[in-house]
Structure 1
Amino acid sequence: MRKILFSLSLCIGFSMALNAQSVALRPGNTISNILLKNTNGGTYDFKAQKTAKGFIVVFMTPSCDHCRAYEKRVIALDQKYKGKGYPVVAIGPYGDYPNEYPLDALAEMNKLAKNEGFTFPYLSDSKFKYTTLLGVQKTPTAFVLQKKANGFLIVYKGDIDDELDAKKQPKHKFVEEQVNKLIK
């Protein structure tokens, strides 16, 4: 009985330690930088974007119907806020997994960006680094980041707005509301 209790407590302790190590960043936390491969073959470094006051980051994949429904709204966000210092940057979680996720890998991301006329960088998340760090569980997931001296403050994490149907107008534009507060 002692061995069973000891083993059980050891398993619980190990499980708690693993969960503590995998706690994702959330609003109020700061991320020092994001540096990823772009669909154009280059590398995109958030810190190197000197004119940006922050970023609208959207995790999205080419094969996700919900992401596809939001493409025009994401392009519109970039057009509306890029000139105000908050450009859109999209990140594809599966970009470097062409064998496991061929419909969402870098080649498909590149096709999507060109075919849909993305006006923003579309980055490939290397080995789920930022997907995990930011706790992304579904696509699309949006973040609003504000540039600070020590990195980028996570101001918002969540849905872009409250309407999945591309033919309907959303009642609440969550990302726009957050960015508008920052640029006032």
Structure 2
Amino acid sequence: MVALNPPVCDFGWPAPDFDLPGTDGKRHTLAGCRGTNGLLVAFICNHCPYVQAVIDRLVRDAAELQRLGVGVVAISSNDATAYPADAFPEMARFAEQHAFTFPYLHDESQAVARAYGAVCTPDFFGFNAALELQYRGRLDDTGRGPARADARRELFEAMRAVAESGRGPQAQTASIGCSLKWKA
């Protein structure tokens, strides 16, 4: 396992379009996932210890962001042949187990991850209502450690600001996680 950090936020970068199957049996697009006040795109997978450490907090934050008009979508782009724990049926179980309130999409071709420049799981992309990038940071400072009551909710606070003002914070700390598992 190699822990990687994504690059810093490229403010104003436009969200690439996508059309992917979800664990709910429907297809989802960028336009269909966006909220009136923005969109959070989270590249995750099932087996990554960094994702497993934060998934319940991500689900909590996603539900609160959705109430603020921010759409939320999670995408798994890992090579499911090499990592069967990330296969589509397992994704559906993972989403149900953690009570996702947002679509969980399968990027089997990995084209969407490449279009976004995703590098690790979790990797967060926060867009404003105009679908311009405003946040490319971490959920909080716990990494793969246990949740702390005093952990600042960096992702939630940033996306709340984006929902209210259209702008993300200038100071952002990159996420850390397992490298995306690319196909050979």
Report TM bin, short chain. 0.7 to 0.9
Match of 1:67 in 2: 51
Does the Cα contact within 8 Å between 1:90 and 1:120 map onto a contact in 2? yes
Rg (Cα) greater in structure: 1
Does the Cα contact within 8 Å between 1:146 and 1:154 map onto a contact in 2? yes
The answer to whether residue 14 in structure 2 is matched with residue 30 in structure 1 is yes
Match of 1:137 in 2: 119
In 2, Cα distance between equivalents of 1:85 and 1:126: 29
* Code of the aligned partner of 1:131: A
Q: Which runs of 5+ in 1 are unaligned?
A: 1-24
Give the RMSD, CA atoms, in angstroms: 2.2
Match of 1:54 in 2: 38
The farther-off stretch of 50-59 and 99-108 is 50-59
Match of 1:105 in 2: 87
| Deviation of the 1:167 alpha carbon | 2.9
TM-score by length of 1: 0.75
Counting matched residue pairs gives 156
In 2, Cα distance between equivalents of 1:31 and 1:50: 10
| Deviation of the 1:50 alpha carbon | 7.0
Identity %: 25
Q: Which of 130, 141, 147 is equivalent to 1:167?
A: 147
| Deviation of the 1:108 alpha carbon | 1.0
TM-score by length of 2: 0.75
* Code of the aligned partner of 1:176: F
| Deviation of the 1:181 alpha carbon | 1.6
Structure 1 residues 132-178: Cα deviation after superposition (integer angstroms, max 9, x where no partner): 12222111111111232xxx211111211111223314544321222
* Code of the aligned partner of 1:154: L
In 2, Cα distance between equivalents of 1:54 and 1:41: 24
Q: Which of 102, 106, 120 is equivalent to 2:102?
A: 120
Q: Which of 155, 161, 166 is equivalent to 2:134?
A: 155
Q: Which runs of 5+ in 2 are unaligned?
A: 1-8, 165-184
In 1, Cα distance between equivalents of 2:97 and 2:127: 27
Higher RCO, 1 or 2 (CA under 8 Å, sep at least 6)?
2
Change (3 A) 1:177 1:157: same
Change (3 A) 1:102 1:74: same
